[in-house]
Amino acid sequence: MQHLSIGPLYYEYSRHNEPRLTVQPGEIFSVDSEDAFSGQIRTDGDRRDKTKVPGSNPQTGPIVVVGAQPGDALAVTIHSIEPLIGQCATRTGDARNLAQWLGPDCPHGVHICPIREGQIFWSNETTIPYRPMLGCIGTAPAHGVPTTLPAGPHGGNMDIVEVAPGHTVVLPVFVPGGYLYLGDAHAAMGHGELSASGLEMPARSILSIELRKGNNLPSPRIETPEEIMTIVSGAPMEQSIAQAFAYLILWMEADFGVPRWRAYDLLTHVARISVGYFPIGTVGVKVPRKYLHAR
């Protein structure tokens, strides 16, 4: 199995970086990634120092997929995500989005949480189930170089909890090879990523990629054994929700034969929403597969 170590930390989804790994469609490979704090927080006494490392959410990559061309899609199946150092870190140093109600005096709140036997030890009294996911995964656009802070049609900092083991993230290809990047692994995260920090950890992810020719996707998708999901990012969130629903309806019509207005009616009753980091308006809308043949 090919393995990609952490190496250089990238804070952009760029087609200009030298590829670090080339994989064949269907090949299983592993990728190590640093945590969202760029490795600066390893003990309760550590603090994030942006004068030394100003960026957040460093990525490992780029990964080139043989045969990928603009207009194709990379269907990235996540087989597993495991912690590299047996712990994760979180912090609550910025409550600007809630300050008008809670006040501006939020403590820094760094603490380290051991991970063992499928549990995250958030405190001596409280454990959280280990439910890993990748906060960031994306391909390089053909124009511009987005940072690892927002999300967009290329993927990026989506922070959607369904980017998880056993699921497939489908990303548009904009440049030859795709130039896939990933990182920002979380041991667990609540919907909305309230404090802008999940339970951040350096991680090893085992992946494989199916190359889908000529898909011409407008935005990322997630496929699970139980559901399908479309993802859109942007403010106001109401617009992202509407757009994600429209993309899901068109997908149901094109691939599953559900007429769009029947899908529109059906989703009104059975759809669910997943929220990424809420200030940037990333949402996923999803429908159980059992409804995909409701003609």
pTM (two decimals): 0.96
**How does residue 202 score in pLDDT terms, banded at 50, 70 and 90?**
very high
Give the pLDDT mean for 74-100.
93
Residue 92 confidence class, pLDDT cut points 50, 70, 90: confident
8-state DSSP, 280: G
What digits encode the pLDDT tens for the residues 46-55?
998 889 988 9
Q: Which of these CATH numbers, 3.30.70.100, 3.40.462.10, 3.40.1440.60, 2.60.120.580, describes 2-88+131-212? A: 2.60.120.580
Assign 3-class secondary structure to 57-114.
CCEEEEEEECCCCCCCEEEEEEEEEEECCCEEEECCCCCCCCHHHHCCCCCCCCEEEE
Within a 13 Å sphere around the CA of 41, how many CA atoms are in the beta-carbon half?
A: 26
pLDDT at residue 146 is higher than 80: yes
Q: Give yes or no for residue 212 having a pLDDT over 90.
A: yes
The domains of the chain are located at 2-88+131-212, 226-291
* Element (DSSP H or E) covering residue 194: none
CATH class of 226-291: alpha beta
Q: Which residues of 121-141 are buried (b: 16+ CB within 10 A; e: fewer)?
A: bbeeeebbebbbbbbbbbbbb
Whole-number Å distance between alpha carbons of 185 and 161: 11
Q: What is the pLDDT of residues 174-188, one digit of tens each?
A: 999 999 999 999 999
The Cα–Cα gap between 61 and 154 comes to 15
